């Protein structure tokens, strides 16, 4: 969890200031669903992204 929140802060929070609460929610959702889960490589998955790992296993 600490690693996740560290990356979230570095890549999203410190990158700019959102103009509204809705924009913040949208950016956090996009970061988690698209960037973090879809693309980011994880050591537990053999340094593959989750989408790549699932498609390889099926």
Question: What does the pLDDT look like over 1-58, one tens digit per residue?
Answer: 788 888 888 888 787 777 888 988 998 898 888 877 777 787 888 888 888 888 888 7
Task: Quote the pLDDT of residue 3.
Answer: 82
C-alpha distances in Å from residue 30, one per residue of 36, 46, 50: 9, 24, 16
Taking the alpha carbons at both ends of the chain, their separation in whole angstroms is: 28
Task: Quote the pLDDT of residue 22.
Answer: 92
Beta bridge partners of 42: 48
Q: How far apart are CA 37 and CA 23, in angstroms?
A: 20
Task: Quote the pLDDT of residue 43.
Answer: 84
Task: Quote the pLDDT of residue 11.
Answer: 81
From the list 33, 37, 29, the residue with the least C-alpha distance to 53 is 37
Q: How far apart are CA 35 and CA 20, in angstroms?
A: 21
């Amino acid at each position: 969890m600490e690693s996740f929140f560290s990356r979230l802060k570095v890549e999203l929070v410190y990158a700019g200031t959102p103009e509204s609460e809705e924009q913040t929610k949208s950016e956090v959702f996009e970061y988690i669903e698209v960037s973090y889960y879809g693309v980011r490589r994880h050591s537990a998955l053999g340094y593959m992204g989750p989408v790549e790992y699932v498609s390889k296993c099926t």
